[in-house]
Structure 1
Amino acid sequence: MMGTVDLVDMNVNPHGDEELLARRFDADRGHLRAVAYRMLGSLSEAEDAVQETWLKLSRADVGEVRNLSGWLTTVVGRVCLDMLRSRGSRRESPLEYYVPDPVVRVGGAADAAAATDPERAAELTESVGLALLVVLETLSPAERLAFVLHDMFAVSFDEIAEVVDRSPAATRQLASRARRRVRDASPGPAPDARRRREIADAFLTAANGGDFDGLLAVLDPDVVLRADGGRLMAGASKLVRGAETVVAQALAYSRFRKAALRVVANGEPAVLSVVDGRPAALMVFTVAGDRIVELHILADPERLATLGLTEEELARAAY
């Protein structure tokens, strides 16, 4: 949770000072976007939720609110809860194949950039592993809210209870059930970033060379491959389990033999296939121990087009 902002002690009426209110909201925007992204797993929906939160703030009388950051956190949580509840009938990708929106960065300088660039720092707060986001998709909307707000952002159960319209005790149980699901699905401890990249590169080298033994050497026996082609490439969507079955799909990795760009997606090693200067497919590696335990492939052209990478960055792709 962000620090307390005492608007009363500021001796102003924020509702009557839209410029001041906008500045305060902008100070919390990165935090609110991080909450919404964890709640929704979609960057575009997270932005919509943040914008809706601003609209609610601009219409509210918050002159007596002593902790505006806390107030905004619960409001964006409520907005996201409503969006999750209405999402089921609108989902285009079956949940089995769904890959959440990745936050993609080129190179390893993101942390250094964040030290001097507040926007980059805010973007990094969105980095939560795709494997965890996939698990969060399996929770009920209320369970997801309780887990995200309490376990990730230290919001009290009393505050969350008001959002989900349940008692604090019942809200605590929601978070407990969600926590068990997350714990049971956890891939286990991961090595450091350099070792994770080495393992991902070993996989790509073996795949490009048709080295099935090399692939088996870096894959966990129970590895899961999830591919999401979205609406335009539904035929590419699949869920594959087991190392030998994943290896048998090696030809599916041929797209990564084209121009490829080593990137980081949600803090995990990834590779982006680039064709004619445009993203064609993104493969993200989840590593535990010394093996790859999950592979997430986003092949949805519509969402790949929104990754936000510049032409200069895409031009760095190499064969």
Structure 2
Amino acid sequence: MRAAPRARLRAMALGLLGSAPEADRAVRAAERTLASYGPGPRAHRGPGPVPDPGPPPEAVLARVCLGRLRAREARRTEPWDPWSDSPGPTPAERLILVLHDRFGVPYETLAPVLERAPAAVRQIGVRARARARAAEAMPAPDPAHLRTAVDAVLAAAREGDTAALRSLLDPDAVLRADTGAVRGGVRPAHGAPAVARVLAARAAAARPVPVDGAPGLAAAPDAVYVFTAPAGPITSVDVLADPPHVSRLALART
């Protein structure tokens, strides 16, 4: 394998996927992709064009593992308990925490994999580390920014404009639903397109309502939509409809 020891790539894959068999499959998939590229300019001999050396091995492996992490998130269908479950990092956040923080892979290498600018990838890492340290370490939300985002979601949902909804969401946005919301027909979703479809179908009849003092939405029958948008697009939507969960929220009834 070019430029990176196989053992290092396997350790990266294991850190990302958490399963030795999955890590081995990911490394083999990365090897197959890397084998399709040429040996690179330094190894090239003889006449003819210089073969394409391809992306760095770490980037190829990152792309393979990111696809598997996103597929894993997309398959999640179990209800979510907001006071018992601690949501883990998104696939993009996990990629940065493992590959950059533990293995020193540069942001510039990860940026094409995540289809972001290096500065945006760096910012995702800042957000992920803050969440990992503790919830209280997160920066205080900006109510004005969140209000703008929630108003835009409601307007787009009422128009049935899924393209506008996608533009308001982080590409790795997640929608979590507790047991009551699942009983009411809401299904967990991962990724901007999937979350946008749920919002387009379910949030059109919602009304704005402060939730614990922050902008949110309420929809019949007694479902509450809680949004997270630290600085930029919406990263998560939590739908709560279980009476014990809703009763723990401070709602301004209108």
Classify the TM-score, shorter chain: 0.3 to 0.5
**TM-score (normalizing by structure 1):** 0.36
**TM-score (normalizing by structure 2):** 0.44
Higher relative contact order, structure no. (Cα contacts within 8 Å, ≥ 6 residues apart) = 1
